[in-house]
A and B are shown apart, each in its own frame.
Chain A
Amino acid sequence: MATNVGEVTGPRHGRAPAGPSKQPSRRSVRVGRLDLRLSPYLFVAPFFVLFAVFGAYPLIYTAILSTRKNTLTGGDAGFVGLENYRKILWDEHFWIVIFNTFGLFFVATVPQLIFALLIASWLNKKMRARTAIRMGVLIPNITSVAAVGIVFGLIFADRYGLANWLLQSVHLDPVEWRNHRWSSWTAIAFMVDWRWTGYNALIYLAAMQAIPKELYESASLDGASAARRFWRITVPLIQPTILFTVIISTIGGMQLFTEPLLFNYGRIQGGSLNEFQTVAMYIYETTFTNNYNVGRGAAISWLLFIIILIFALINFALVRRSVKGQTS
């Protein structure tokens, strides 16, 4: 099958344009042909060479490392099969960080995307100072994660933090933010959402601008309220974009590392009982502290990769279904 296709399309693509050649010197024609045939490969080669060394090789090497007993201090001590995976999957610690990662992802992403939709619908109006307003909404996204972690670390400080001061000023009890799962997750979700809501709002805005205005105008003549127009016209029509942002958020959310790390002033354990330690933090802790267990760290990395792949595939399936649903 495959070779057949190649034979059919090959000549048509490659040689037809070069066929009726003009008559410069024979040598320059040959150089020209070589140029036509080789240049595309030379142009894309740097990407693939560099990716092979710093992308593909590490990925494969992670898989190999995950089947070996290997520490940074002791070096390689041979093949152990799936022993690393067994140890991880039988260790409660792994399930705690999985729970945290998914929980944090959920707690952060749902309000983030809802607020982004709202902000986008506000931005999708005729207004003054359009660019300045959009810049104001996007500004958190250009702030570094490390800076965000530090600033929100103080906002959510236990004794003199801004958040607790606000709570007390409405006569609520102050919260020890790092001592409970719910409170640490809330604070970390704030950091993530502060940084990413505006970005997603701009992406939604771009999608909303592609919706024909007449749809809204005729709906409003028919008496549909603003809320109804939003849920019946806007949301269904930008559904592919919503799924796109869900994919991006998933990949980001599964890799959450810096916010929870700096929230607790650089402690990799993420709370005394690992209340907010994520998978990425666990990989770092396993590999670069404690026993420097490279083999096991690699196995956790590979498990994380598989989780992300599964998520991405589910998302792709959903996207395809929604796109199909729209065209039919």
Chain B
Amino acid sequence: MSTTMTRPRNLPVEPPKKNRGRVRSASAALWDASPLTYLALIITIVLSIFPIVWSFIVASRENSAVTDIPPPLTPGPNFFDNASRVLANTDANFVYGLINSAVVSSCVTLSVVFFSTLAGFAFAKLKFRGKNALLLIIILTMMIPTQVNIIPLYLLMVKFDWTNTLQAVIVPFLVKGFGVFMIRQYAESAISDELIEAARVDGASTWRTYWSVVLPALRPAAAVLGLLTFMETWNDFLWPYVVLNGDTPTVQVSLNILATGYYKTDYVQVFTGTALAIVPLLLVFIAFGRQIIGGIMEGSVKA
């Protein structure tokens, strides 16, 4: 109201307008991507995608193509032949590997998301003694590298008689310090204290509050955590490599069996396996790429 009243009285309307126009075009020059920027990004993306595309190209050819010069850069007709060869390979046990990886990644993801939201909520919104000390411990656990624990963990699996079983790649990874920390950071700002208070006043227990008030509010962060955990578990190599063999492989173990056993004799089969192992995550990425990118960018700002 007041601005519309004063505006007509302001006589020098023209100069500021012009000025603003100049600033805007200057800022457009600063912020609009130039053709050169697009070019640089396109080159980056081509380099990013090329090895993946190339694995599919090699997977669609014959073994005789290995001596081709220049190396093959266009797809051939043999992908499905090669794929059926990989799937029939009893050493690599590839189908079983794919199923196992799906089972393991799903179990770990569900568990990490559940326990992380539970603990993250407690750290963000509940009051209890020793909270800060416990949170510090969780942050410190993020510093322990897997490599350091591998030997005793392996001995533990031997003692439980869990080697070559799926428990061995699920149970030790049911919780993750990173997950608790990430959810806690999100819950701090996403859930208002009044919301918790209101649920309390309505007579909801803490568990009830978590389940029907907090968990729905945490859904975006939980989804990102779930996606990141799923991909990480799917791609995990070292621990499955130590504790599993070809009888109960994850897909990465199958891949390693192919790579070490067949590289010199049937490299096309190795590449077909590689391509097949990438496909499921590629689909996840195409479906949820936006959320994954958002999660990585947000997580880094808060940490």
Contact A46–B119 (Cβ < 8 Å): yes
Assembled-state Cα–Cα distance A36/B159 (Å): 39
B301, CB-defined interface residue at 8 Å: yes
Binds A, one of B3-11, B74-82, B271-279: B271-279
A30, CB-defined interface residue at 8 Å: no
Q: What residues on A are CB-neighbors of B166 within 8 Å? A: none
The B contact surface, by secondary structure, is helix
Q: What residues on A are CB-neighbors of B259 within 8 Å? A: 146, 149-150, 153, 262, 265-266
Fill in one digit per residue for A25-67: 1 if any B CB lies within 8 Å of its CB, else 0. Answer: 0000000100111011101101110110011011101100100
A95, CB-defined interface residue at 8 Å: no
Q: What residues on A are CB-neighbors of B154 within 8 Å? A: 287-288
Contact B145–A304 (Cβ < 8 Å): yes
Q: What residues on B are CB-neighbors of A14 within 8 Å? A: 127, 129
Q: What residues on B are CB-neighbors of A309 within 8 Å? A: 143
Contact B118–A46 (Cβ < 8 Å): yes
The residue that B148 contacts in the complex, of A221, A262, A301, with Cβ under 8 A, is A301
- CB-CB under 8 A for A47 and B242, given A137-B48, A144-B278: no
Contact A244–B303 (Cβ < 8 Å): yes
Assembled-state Cα–Cα distance A144/B250 (Å): 12
Fill in one digit per residue for A49-88: 1 if any B CB lies within 8 Å of its CB, else 0. Answer: 0110011011101100100000000000000000000000
Closest to A60 in B: B152
- CB-CB under 8 A for A47 and B143, given A35-B206, A40-B128, A202-B296: no
Contact A205–B32 (Cβ < 8 Å): no
A169 to chain B, nearest CB (A): 8
Fill in one digit per residue for A126-152: 1 if any B CB lies within 8 Å of its CB, else 0. Answer: 110001011111111011111111111
Closest to A262 in B: B259
Q: How many residues on the B side are at the interface (Cβ–Cβ under 8 A)?
A: 102
Q: What residues on A are CB-neighbors of B152 within 8 Å? A: 57-59, 61-62, 65, 298
Contact A54–B171 (Cβ < 8 Å): yes
A304 to chain B, nearest CB (A): 6
B94, CB-defined interface residue at 8 Å: no
Q: What residues on A are CB-neighbors of B44 within 8 Å? A: 119, 122, 136-137, 198
Assembled-state Cα–Cα distance A140/B281 (Å): 11
A121 to chain B, nearest CB (A): 9
A255, CB-defined interface residue at 8 Å: yes
Q: What residues on B are CB-neighbors of A161 within 8 Å? A: 71
Binds A, one of B52-60, B84-92, B217-225: B52-60
Q: What residues on B are CB-neighbors of A142 within 8 Å? A: 231, 235, 281-282, 284-285, 292
24 A-B pairs with CB atoms under 8 Å apart are A14-B129, A36-B206, A47-B115, A51-B175, A62-B151, A62-B152, A127-B32, A127-B38, A136-B44, A145-B237, A146-B255, A146-B256, A150-B255, A153-B263, A154-B267, A162-B71, A205-B297, A210-B301, A217-B27, A257-B147, A262-B256, A283-B150, A294-B151, A297-B151
Would you list the 5 A-B pairs with minimal beta carbon distance, nearest first?
A: A266-B260, A136-B45, A39-B206, A206-B297, A40-B128
If A58-B148, A155-B51 are given as contacts, then 8 extra A-B residue pairs at C-beta distance below 8 Å, sorted by A number, are A46-B119, A58-B149, A125-B37, A136-B41, A146-B237, A151-B52, A160-B66, A283-B150
Residues of B within 8 A of A (CB): 23, 26-27, 30-34, 37-38, 40-41, 44-45, 47-49, 51-52, 54-55, 58, 66-71, 115, 118-119, 121-123, 126-129, 131, 134, 137-138, 141, 143-156, 171-175, 177, 180, 205-207, 210, 231, 234-235, 237-238, 242, 251-252, 255-256, 259-260, 263-264, 267, 270-271, 274, 277-278, 281-282, 284-285, 289-290, 292-293, 296-298, 300-301, 303
Residues of A within 8 A of B (CB): 6, 10, 13-14, 17, 32, 35-37, 39-41, 43-44, 46-48, 50-51, 54-55, 57-59, 61-62, 65, 118-119, 122-123, 125-127, 131, 133-140, 142-155, 160-162, 165, 169, 194, 198-199, 202-203, 205-207, 210, 213, 216-217, 220-221, 241, 244, 251, 254-255, 257-258, 262, 265-266, 279-280, 283-284, 287-288, 294, 297-298, 301-302, 304-305, 308-309, 312
